A and B are shown apart, each in its own frame.
Chain A
Amino acid sequence: MTTHASRSLVPPGRTRTVPPALHEFAYWLHRYRRTWRGTVVLNVANPLLFLTGIGAGLGSLVNHNNSAALGGLSYLAFLTPGLLAASAMQTAYIDSAHPVHQSVQAKGHYWAASATPMSPVDIYYGHLLFNVFKVTLSATAFTAVAAAFGAVDALRAPLVVAATLLVGAAFAAPSAAWAVTAKRQPTVLAVLRFGVMPMFMFSGTFFPLTQLPGWLQPVVQATPLWHGVELCRTAALGTGTAAGTALHVGYLTVLAVVGLLLGRRTYQRHLHS
């Protein structure tokens, strides 16, 4: 009956000060251990398929016609960084929105974690960290394969990975911030279909902006992916201007920070309702 009285008010954790968010990161990493082999294969096989199929196959067609719009670049050199940015967006969205939405359903993982000393913000940061980690893995694999193909200059590869990371963070933070509030699974899919995929196709990934009708160009230039594609492409080709790079980095950073601030609020509100 009196055992509780003798305990101190400090949690009985022999206080090792690991940031709590890392526990959440560790949870997702632990689950990932079951599936990582499969994703590594995908991470290497996907770029291989893309670069041979689209880059070399389709590219030879494009290159034969000597497309002026590419400014004398080979199609492979044009496509690769764009594809990197678009894939980072896709990975960031899918890996954020789906597991986050699952975790907040009845019996979901977040309810277990939020009954512990973890705060909703710790849970958010930890999960986000894991998503950025996965973007890093796939971006690194993709860039390595591309460098082996000669599609990306090996010396510029680290810069390209860094740019891709920023794209991933800029999409992962707001995606998770929103997904924790999403009521229904079909909504999560609808955003993928009608938001993410159109951006994937039309934000300068597969063809230059100038190929689009004039009225559509400013619309595309307002999308975050266009800034991501431009950043990755100029990083890969070494064609970046100070102003352009500042604009793209600024846009994506603002998106990541706004997402982060939003996520702090939405997680707090939904996990401690």
Chain B
Amino acid sequence: MTETTRQPQGTVPEQAAMIRARGLQKRYGAARGEGFTAVAGIDFEVRPGEAFGILGANGAGKSSTMRMIACTSPSTGGSLDVLGLDARTEGARIRARIGVVPQDDTVDVELTVRENLLIYGRYFGLPKAEIRRRATELLDFARLTDKADERVEALSGGMRRRLTIARALINEPEIVLLDEPTTGLDPQARHLLWERLFQLKDDGITLILTTHYMDEAEQLCDRLVVMDGGLIVTEGSPGGLIERYCTREVLELRFGPGEREAMTDKARGLVERIEELPDRILLYTDEGEATLAAAHARGVVPLTALTRRASLEDVFLTLTGRSLVD
């Protein structure tokens, strides 16, 4: 019993964790003297079959963390185990068993869609016949069968992303890493992609994804960490985090030009917390309509008022004082 007493809450037993990071650090340019710390010592664990999110603004250290997990960037401190193997020494064996969807698509635009899969599969030392069989299945999975023999050049951004995901699955990975999988895609392409990711989740594949879209994290992640400035500032399920850091509802008020400060002063004391943004103020409340009525009674006259459910966006604002995407 003694060895388990020191484990923090929510820790999984040694063997069961797909990924375990302890005090993980990444410092760039350390060899050249100066150096920049992108990841400043983080602890986290990812469990089998889970969809684990890393949420954070640009520069938070998400990609650096992902590249360390993918064993394409050596850590400069702490420890990192992936599939029970030490990421520092077992890089090739780990890479053989994971799938990587990098932030920038690295599909070969000069080759056809199918060729991209066939060539990539060879890097894993798979037999050609087996790769061909899997490629056909994966084209179907990625909804790219009718594009199979077209050059990647001719594909839309959403299709390229789906091809990148299909390619990452060629080695039947146990973990798939997705770095900002839907950034830059239009809403329709995003939804198709999410639907494909749900499919992977259903198949029991462990997913790790980074995003700066709150709705994406809420939709896809069972559990997530919020990163800021190279550190993890909080961890939990999307619902749990909202409950922990926010009220049930948020009342958003917009005012006419020049009125905001005076109106904000009038509204003070209505609720425990008010967040002032450049174009509006947010009132954290459990009863949006009641708060709005109380505000009216005090002579607060907004141009528009909106009551909505609290979201992860509000969690991020609470924790960092900044909004996530500008």
Could you tell me which A residues sit within 8 Å of B by CB distance? Answer: 1-5, 7, 9, 11-16, 18, 20, 23, 26-27, 30-31, 34, 106-109, 111-119, 271-273
Contact = CB atoms under 8 A, between A and B. Distances in A.
Interface stretch (B54-62, B94-102, B306-314): B94-102
8 contacts: A2-B48, A9-B83, A9-B84, A34-B110, A107-B106, A112-B107, A116-B120, A117-B95
A111 B127 contact: no
Contact of B174 (A7, A34, A273): A7
A5 B70 CA distance: 20
Contact of B124 (A2, A13, A34): A13
B108 A13 contact: no
Contact of A272 (B72, B111, B115, B119): B72
A5 B91 CA distance: 19
B70 A115 contact: yes
B174 A23 contact: no
Contacts of A15: 125
Contact of B123 (A2, A3, A5, A118): A118
Contacts of B100: 115
A44 to B, nearest CB: 25
Given A4-B206, A9-B84, 16 more contacts: A2-B48, A4-B48, A9-B83, A11-B93, A12-B126, A12-B172, A13-B96, A13-B171, A106-B104, A112-B106, A112-B120, A115-B72, A116-B120, A116-B124, A117-B123, A272-B91
Contact of A107 (B105, B115, B123): B105
Interface string B63-80: 000000010111000000
Contacts of B130: 14
B210 to A, nearest CB: 15
Contact of A27 (B106, B119, B127): B119
Given A4-B48, A109-B108, A119-B92, A12 B97 contact: yes
Contacts, number: 103
A77 B127 CA distance: 50
A31 B152 CA distance: 14
Nearest to B101: A115
Contacts of A9: 83-85, 93
A111 B73 CA distance: 12
Interface in B124-170: 124-127, 130, 167
B204 interface: yes
Main secondary structure of the interface of B (DSSP, over half): loop
B28 interface: yes
A100 to B, nearest CB: 15
B176 to A, nearest CB: 12
Contact of A273 (B49, B73, B126): B73
Contacts of A273: 28, 73
Contacts of A112: 106-108, 120, 167
Interface in B204-235: 204, 206
B96 to A, nearest CB: 3
Interface residues of B, number: 42
Nearest to B125: A13
Contacts of A11: 93, 96-97, 124-125, 171
B193 interface: no
B204 A3 contact: yes
Contacts of B83: 4, 9
- 6 smallest CB-CB distances across A and B, nearest first, come from A11-B96, A13-B125, A116-B123, A112-B106, A115-B100, A117-B96
Nearest to B50: A1
B106, B126, B171 interface centre (most CB from chain A within 10 Å):
B106
A111 B106 contact: yes
A4 B106 contact: no
B169 to A, nearest CB: 12
A271 B125 CA distance: 20
Contacts of A16: 125, 127
B204 A117 contact: no
A109 B110 CA distance: 11
A111 B125 contact: no
B315 interface: no
B122 interface: yes
Contact of A1 (B105, B110, B123, B204): B204
B200 to A, nearest CB: 13
A115 B102 contact: yes
B18 interface: yes
Nearest to A3: B204
Nearest to A268: B74
Contacts of B172: 12
Given A13-B124, A115-B72, A118-B123, A31 B111 contact: yes
Contacts of B28: 273
A27 B118 CA distance: 10
Given A1-B49, A114-B72, A117-B92, A13 B126 contact: yes
A239 B105 CA distance: 55
Contacts of A2: 48
A95 B122 CA distance: 23
A14 B127 contact: yes
A14 B129 CA distance: 12
Given A1-B49, A107-B105, A115 B95 contact: yes
